[in-house]
Chain A
Amino acid sequence: MSSAVLLEVRNVVKRFGGLVAINGVSFDVHEHEVLGLIGPNGSGKTTMMNLISGALPATDGYIAMDDKLLTDLPTRKIARAGIARTFQLVRVIPSMTVLENVMAGAVFGHKKLWGHALAVYAERQLERVGLVGISHKLTADLTYIDQKRVELARALASDPKVILLDEWLAGLNPTELQTGIELIRSLRDDGRTVILVEHVMDAIRSLCDRCVVMSTGNIIAQGTPAEVLADPQVIEAYLGEDYE
């Protein structure tokens, strides 16, 4: 946890017309840590993820990785710099096979494979997320959970430094959740940095090295999961003032 800062978020503001979704947020993400981005619905977590991945441009402030300014780069260059993500509402290409979906992550970005090497590599990513023997199925024919796995395999295929998981554990049953938690932990052990937006408290407690808690576009607490979850301001933000 004392490791170097990989990603710097500084005074980032995002406005949608008159609505301020992110109101001058600053935090650091260290190398090889799992950072939980938590907070009640509408607090700006997903917007923050979209700003880091470049899906949305920031109105003000900056985000930098390894001294490289990401804020002004187009999405594709942020991806090439080594940031991969999954989406809150799963985004796979239904008309393509499972293998093709995963291959998509390893051709144009941080990793540039093609041909046989690409197919073998993509197949290994599928094994990694626990999908075996379905690589030639159409992704449209998969269950929602398996589609999420395909999406994670695609993100992993780019061999990212930073991986953004937007509620990737949502909707899993208890057994799947356990496997999911193990999987994310293994990503950190691989030396990757993980930022996850999550509502599943068990996952946050057991996975996150640190948490950043957001509420209505501001950071209200930072620290270890135990610290922030005990913070009265955090409890108030989640449950309201009258909670005893």
Chain B
Amino acid sequence: MIAFILNNQDISTNLPTGQTVLDFVRYRQNLKGTKIGCREGDCGACTILVGELVGDEVKYRTMTSCLMPLANAAGKHIVTVEGINPEDGSLTPVQQAMVDENGTQCGFCTVGFVMSLTGFCIDDTAKTPEMAVSSIDGNICRCTGYKSIERAAKSVCRQLAVGGKQFVPKRFDKIGARLEALRVGPGQTRTANRRPVVGGGTDVYVQRPDELVDTDATHVFYDDALRGIRDTGDFIEIGASATVTDLLESPIMQSAFPDLYKHLKLVSSTPIRNMATLAGNFVNASPIGDMTVWFLALDTEIELSEPSASAGGQLRTLKLRDFYLGYKQLAKEPDEIITAVRFRKPGSEFYFNFEKVCKRTYLDIATVNTAISLHVETTPGEGWMPPVLSEPGAVAKGKLSKLDHFITNAHVSAGGVAPVPLYLKETSSFLIGRRINGETIEKANKIIQAEISPISDVRGTEVYKRLLLRQLFRAHFVEMFATELTEIAES
């Protein structure tokens, strides 16, 4: 039995937990405002709001209902456009802005934009024009060319600054208490040995929706034991069900990764980031998984346990890079699930960069992605012998620069260039002990090229992927040591 609030209505249903919220609202509840565009989270026409009780506040996030299992609605406030439409037939400020700025043409994608912008109005993000546009980065419109919608988003932003507007119905104030009444125990609980295991659903519902909709799977998205991001002193530890948005909003992650927003903006879209879990990305084992590539470069360790481990089962840990045995082949027993992810907290003189190129810069799957983390120091530590290096020609002159630095630790990863998300082992160990200069970068590229084995497919040819990774590897250094290294990336 799944119980939740749909708009203003209490729902309890015995339908299979794997049925999508989209089909439920459209075909079981006749709420036709939520549209079907692609059923794979790529168009945003089915965007809804999902309210979760956090403490005594309800936190709303946008999600694509096509990829969301009913199980993940349990105990939540599910809001479709019918749930925000003013009853007197008038319009909310978001709807009015879309009308005023001519942000709707055929109307099919419109509700998705309305829901995304409404989510922006009531969530915790900074109310800047940039973030307003970011909130609709998962919505595709084929008619308008977006400029009118952008104007609507900016108008909404101005109205937020003025204040006093009712973006959602007044009754939302009472939802918290109603969700409190629905709360049964600590979030989702894992059911032993029921497969498949579904987190946010953003990958499995793209790959095998027909199979999942009739299934009662093990749902771990709202499993409290698998959530949260913690600083344990030496390590940063992340719950397996943490979403990309959780990472983005985490002060711990923000302080460790100053470019966090810039990098994660390259990863899918707002509603998908709200749903996609870290472990889901790892287990999906896509050779181009963005988060997998990111965490491979942090020398990440994962913790695995049996589903019943919350009751004290076996735990084991292994390096993320040892998790991938071959295409979609994992070093994992069928009954094991990832429970936590941890990596060593970055020290001083830590550099990190993430690069990704696809056909479309945002909201796309990478052709090639790559991440790198470096620790550098100016003078080698005691007892440490630098390798003999010929002096490169392109060292910057003048005061001490990063070019004089030695790399003391390095981890490099790349996606889209092998059957698995690839930890570049040889490249990483080559970099240790080298100076940061053009020669190191070009020599490392030769090692990279030997380590990778890309294939031609819809995302690009083999020769392009090789070239692209070389360029992105150069881009890492341009990004990390921008001023010093203008000379390194000559063609």
A and B are interacting partners:
no
Binding site for B on A (CB under 8 A): none
